[in-house]
Amino acid sequence: MDPQRKKEAGPVAPSSIKAARKSFAVTNTYVKNVTPQKEIITVHTSSPQIEHRSFHSEQNQIYQGDVNVLSIIDTNKDIVCCKYTEDTKDIATGFIDGTVRLFDCNTGNCTHTLVDDECRAYPGPVTAIKHRPVSKAHPITNMLLSSYVNGCIKCWKYKYDQCIYTIREKRQTLGLCYHPRFSKFVTYGDDAKLNMYDEEAQTQERTFYSSQRKNIIDGHTSRIFACAFNPKSHHELISGGWDDTVICWDDRQPFATKHFLGVHMCGEGLDFDKPGKQILTCSWQERDTIQIWDYGSCKLIETIVPDTHQSKLYCGKLVPQTNLAVCGGSDSNTLRVVDINMKITECSIRNNPGAIYAFDFGTVRRKMSKVPDTYKKISEIQNIPRVAFVTGKRLQIVDFG
């Protein structure tokens, strides 16, 4: 099979070192002055479409539904990815010049700049920023892991702007994903392979790849852009990329165990539901961008068309403990909140300055109180955590409801 892509998408990596040496500046910052207010619980007693509202902002963005803008940080460099820190007080952003910068959520100030001599000498876009999932077994470490197009994976102690260690891969590393329970992570790239590492030992445990046998799909044949672990399994994970195939892996097997076709991935658009039985795919294609699949049989459950505004999607996640999903993409440069059951867009932000390459969930602003069962529909919008997303040279934080 031809390993080359047939479609154009995604941020273009500049090869010029000059691009990395231009001075960085925050050109505009807006931070909403949040004052404590009495909680207001919104209850939908009629069709949600009737209650939706749209208005135009000063930045030509179009907001639909109950969207609350908390902060907007405009810079002079393109941003590719973002991630809240473990305590959600700062947001780490990965820039196209290979620099990771942290912004304070309350003030919008740039608090830390993570770059070393290697990043300056061989600049390449930051493709992903992650940290180990926080739990009782894994307390807060104040560390971040970032991957780069030049093949580096760097671990940062961001409080001290210090690189703890670097892993160098001989490929373009396009992303990484942490195991939900173990101190392991997976990286993936342009060689159609996934590498699993032990974080504590900083060693590679194994590689997931195709057997290259004819007429058998047991691995990828092109670049990989997305990966997600099954939350109910220690051993299972899925991945997707340019070969229009989502591959299901088991680390106890030499090659892939199953797959499903027709999903063109260009970003982190894969997610499991909490029981680990269904998969959300958000794909960069003209049609069938939002789909729900059965993990056991790899069969399509349904395709969701939430509105008339078409957008090729880079990223998407299910909102925990709700029937909602958040997704973002290009064309109309839209960030959406989609009700999976109702198949409608609850909230959206269109006409952003650039494509939505990535977003991350922060803290839940408020929790729903108990509401009588007599109401026809209870809105789940207020259960959505704050969302930080990147669009062009802008980092924006919003919440809903």
Q: Residue 280: its pLDDT value, please?
A: 97
pTM, to two decimals: 0.87
pLDDT along the chain (401 residues), means of 10: 54 48 82 53 33 47 93 95 95 97 94 94 95 83 95 96 96 96 95 96 95 94 97 96 97 94 96 96 95 96 92 95 94 94 94 96 67 54 92 95 81
What is the b/e burial string over 250-271, where b = at least 16 CB atoms within 10 angstroms of the residue's CB? bbeeebbebbbeebbbbbbbbb
Alpha-carbon gap, residue 355 to 329, rounded angstroms: 5
The three-state secondary structure class of 117 is: helix
Alpha-carbon gap, residue 95 to 126, rounded angstroms: 6
Q: Residue 378: its pLDDT value, please?
A: 62
User: Counting beta carbons within 10 angstroms of the beta carbon of residue 68, is it exposed (0 to 12), middle (13 to 18) or buried (19 or more)?
Assistant: middle
Q: Residue 43: its pLDDT value, please?
A: 35
Q: What angle do CA 327, 98, 313 make, to 5 degrees?
A: 15
Q: Residue 55: its pLDDT value, please?
A: 41
24-30+76-316 adopts what CATH topology?
A: Methylamine Dehydrogenase; Chain H (2.130.10)
CA-based nearest residue to 209, from 226, 225, 191:
191
Would you list the domain boundaries of the chain?
A: 24-30+76-316
